[in-house]
């Protein structure tokens, strides 16, 4: 079975791939506050199901060693 794409399907595929890449770029660079609209309902649902509370994000907790915190968390920022 061969997969053949006509012009319309190719255009749709390109739009979907570019849209996905744009979303990935935005979400990989966004802060917790910028993603609050999606994190809040997800957090609420998981808290209701698991009956546990989430702690505040690390970015909102004062850190005694900010240089160490940035050193440790910076490599993980690229993992998004």
For residues 80 and 27, the answer to whether their CB atoms sit within 8 Å is yes
* Overall domain count for the chain: 1
Q: Answer whether residue 41 is part of any domain.
A: yes
> Per the confidence metrics, is the pTM higher than 0.85?
no
Tell me the average pLDDT across 58-79.
Answer: 54
Domain around 64: 9-77
**Within-domain flag for 4:** no
pLDDT in tens, 2-53: 777 788 999 999 999 999 999 999 888 888 778 888 888 888 898 899 988 8
User: For residue 55, is it within any domain?
Assistant: yes
Residue 75, CA distances (Å) to 24, 71, 80 in order: 18, 8, 10
């Amino acid at each position: 079975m061969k997969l053949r794409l006509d012009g319309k399907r190719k255009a749709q595929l390109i739009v979907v791939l570019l849209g996905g890449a744009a979303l990935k770029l935005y979400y990989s660079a966004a802060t917790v506050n910028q993603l609050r609209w999606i994190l809040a309902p997800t957090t609420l649902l998981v808290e209701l199901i698991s009956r546990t509370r989430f702690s505040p994000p690390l970015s909102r907790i004062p850190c005694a060693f900010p240089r160490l915190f940035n050193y440790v968390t910076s490599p993980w920022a690229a993992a998004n």
